[in-house]
């Protein structure tokens, strides 16, 4: 299975194990992911990687052994489980995770969480790594030579971000050296994002907006100046109230802290699962909040639209980048 082959490829670049000859990797999995973990173990036997896998079923009974192994017996641990897409959702997460939560937080630098992926693992890792690596590099090369990034869509969006600001850099999430090994994104920060955004798409956050509101189809209209939301409106009254509460909770929540572009062409649509792979969906996403203590970062992942670096259209549902 090519997705598992690609997953094992990206794994070698994780900062916690890069350069190690025979890294010790713990796989913890909830019941729905048992077959996937079996396939990972089988594929590892067929490949030339020197990963030393240990595996545990995530249960409350195994929590003590998991804690001990993560702390003293692993260079990296990967957890496959559902949190927001379970029948019963708890703020603390599922019991099997709650019991190792402190260990996860303390050792986050050697963790990978495959959370709420369900049946979408193949989409997240299905694209050839070299395609994503090449596309990301080409887009960053264009971005660093451009003065503006413009976003439009058929609903009426027309907004521009100024590029080339002092100290501005682009983060390259191509799976090769990122703590989150799911590939397919470039991102930056701009102090000067201005215009109207007619948002349809999904949310991604520690606040379960995605689960409550699903895919937003009635546009959430955002008026943004200097990267701050000045006002907004939607005909969905429940979303209007919830979004107003979110913005009022922390000043940073009103600020676009991240300007992101998804580049993973294997992810064909949005699912409202509140899973990290959805951020890799091709096209624009805006990351609100996270810039101050107490602020929750929340991504607005757009269903569609057009992206222009200066006057060059690089995306209109598919990428148009020469040489890739």
Residues 6+ apart with CB under 8 A from 241: none
In angstroms, the CA 199 to CA 206 distance is 20
Instruction: Please report how the helices 2-11 and 34-46 are oriented relative to each other, as an axis angle in degrees rounded to 10.
Output: 70
Direct distance between the N- and C-terminal alpha carbons of the chain, in angstroms, rounded to an integer? 24
Question: What pTM was estimated for this model as a whole?
Answer: 0.95
Per the structure, the complete domain to which residue 8 belongs is given by 2-125
Q: Kindly state whether residue 321 falls inside one of the protein's structural domains.
A: no
DSSP type of residue 216: E
**pLDDT for 87:** 82
DSSP states along 80-112:
EE-STTSSS--TT--HHHHTTHHHHHHTGGGEE
Is the separation of the CB atoms in 120 and 275 below 8 Å? yes
Domain endpoint, select from 100, 125, 150: 125
pLDDT tens, per residue, the chain with 324 residues: 899 999 999 999 999 999 999 999 999 999 999 999 999 999 999 998 999 999 999 987 888 899 999 999 999 999 999 998 888 877 777 888 999 999 999 999 999 999 999 999 999 999 999 999 999 999 999 999 999 999 999 999 999 999 987 778 999 999 999 999 999 999 999 999 999 999 999 999 988 899 999 999 999 999 999 999 999 999 999 999 999 999 999 999 999 999 999 999 999 999 999 999 999 999 999 999 999 999 999 999 999 999 999 999 999 999 999 767
Residues 6+ apart with CB under 8 A from 223: 196, 229, 230, 231, 232
Is the separation of the CB atoms in 289 and 296 below 8 Å? yes
| Count of domains forming the chain | 2
Instruction: Please report how the helices 2-11 and 129-144 are oriented relative to each other, as an axis angle in degrees rounded to 10.
Output: 60
The position carrying tokens 């067929």 is: 46
264 and 299 both lie in a single domain: yes
DSSP type of residue 323: T
How distant, in Å, are the alpha carbons of 11, 15, 104, 292, 299 from that of 107?
17, 13, 5, 23, 25
**For residue 148, what is the enclosing H or E element?**
strand 148-152
Is the separation of the CB atoms in 96 and 63 below 8 Å? yes
221 and 76 both lie in a single domain: no
195 and 259 both lie in a single domain: yes
121 and 133 both lie in a single domain: no
Domain endpoint, select from 82, 108, 125: 125
pLDDT tens-place string over residues 268-317: 999 999 999 999 999 999 999 999 999 999 999 999 999 999 999 999 99
Residues 6+ apart with CB under 8 A from 323: 134, 138
Residues forming beta bridges with residue 187, ordered by sequence position: 171, 260
167 and 271 both lie in a single domain: yes
| Token duo for residue 7 | 């997953």
Say whether 209 sits in a helix, a strand or coil: helix
172 and 299 both lie in a single domain: yes
In angstroms, the CA 71 to CA 95 distance is 19
For the beta sheet containing 111-115, the strands, ordered from the edge strand earlier in sequence to the opposite edge, are: 52-57, 24-29, 76-81, 111-115
**pLDDT for 60:** 76
71 and 172 both lie in a single domain: no
**pLDDT for 320:** 96
Residues 6+ apart with CB under 8 A from 36: 4, 29, 80, 121
In angstroms, the CA 42 to CA 82 distance is 23
How distant, in Å, are the alpha carbons of 3, 136, 263 from that of 201?
25, 22, 16
Residues forming beta bridges with residue 313, ordered by sequence position: 308
152 and 275 both lie in a single domain: yes
Q: Kindly state whether residue 303 falls inside one of the protein's structural domains.
A: yes
**pLDDT for 62:** 82
């Amino acid at each position: 299975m090519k997705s598992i082959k690609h997953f094992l490829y990206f794994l070698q670049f994780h900062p916690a194990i890069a350069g190690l000859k025979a890294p010790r990797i713990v796989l913890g999995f909830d019941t729905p992911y048992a077959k996937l973990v079996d396939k990972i173990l089988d594929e590892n036997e067929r490949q030339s990687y020197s990963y030393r896998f240990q595996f545990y079923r995530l249960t409350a009974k195994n929590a003590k052994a998991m804690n001990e192994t993560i702390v003293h017996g692993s260079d990296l641990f990967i957890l496959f489980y559902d949190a927001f897409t379970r029948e019963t959702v708890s703020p603390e997460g599922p019991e099997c995770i709650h019991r190792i939560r402190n260990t996860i937080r303390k050792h986050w630098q050697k963790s990978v969480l495959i959370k709420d992926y369900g049946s979408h693992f193949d989409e997240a890792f299905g694209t050839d790594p070299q395609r994503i690596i090449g596309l990301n590099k080409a887009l960053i090369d264009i971005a660093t030579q451009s003065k503006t990034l413009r976003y439009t869509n058929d609903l009426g969006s027309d907004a521009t971000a100024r590029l080339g600001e002092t100290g501005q850099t682009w983060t390259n999430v191509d799976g090769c050296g990122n703590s989150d090994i799911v590939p397919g994104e470039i991102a930056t920060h701009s102090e000067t994002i201005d215009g109207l955004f007619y948002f349809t798409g999904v949310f991604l956050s520690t606040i379960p907006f995605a689960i409550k509101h699903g895919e937003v189809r009635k546009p959430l209209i955002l008026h943004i100046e200097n990267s701050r939301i000045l006002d907004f409106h939607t005909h969905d009254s429940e979303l209007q109230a919830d979004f107003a509460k979110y913005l009022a909770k922390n000043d940073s929540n009103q600020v676009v802290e991240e300007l992101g572009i998804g580049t993973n062409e294997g992810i064909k649509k949005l699912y409202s699962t509140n899973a990290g792979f959805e951020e890799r969906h091709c096209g624009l996403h805006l990351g609100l909040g996270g810039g101050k203590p107490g602020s929750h970062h929340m991504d607005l992942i757009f269903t569609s639209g057009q992206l222009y670096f200066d006057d060059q259209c690089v995306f209109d549902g598919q990428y148009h980048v020469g040489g890739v």
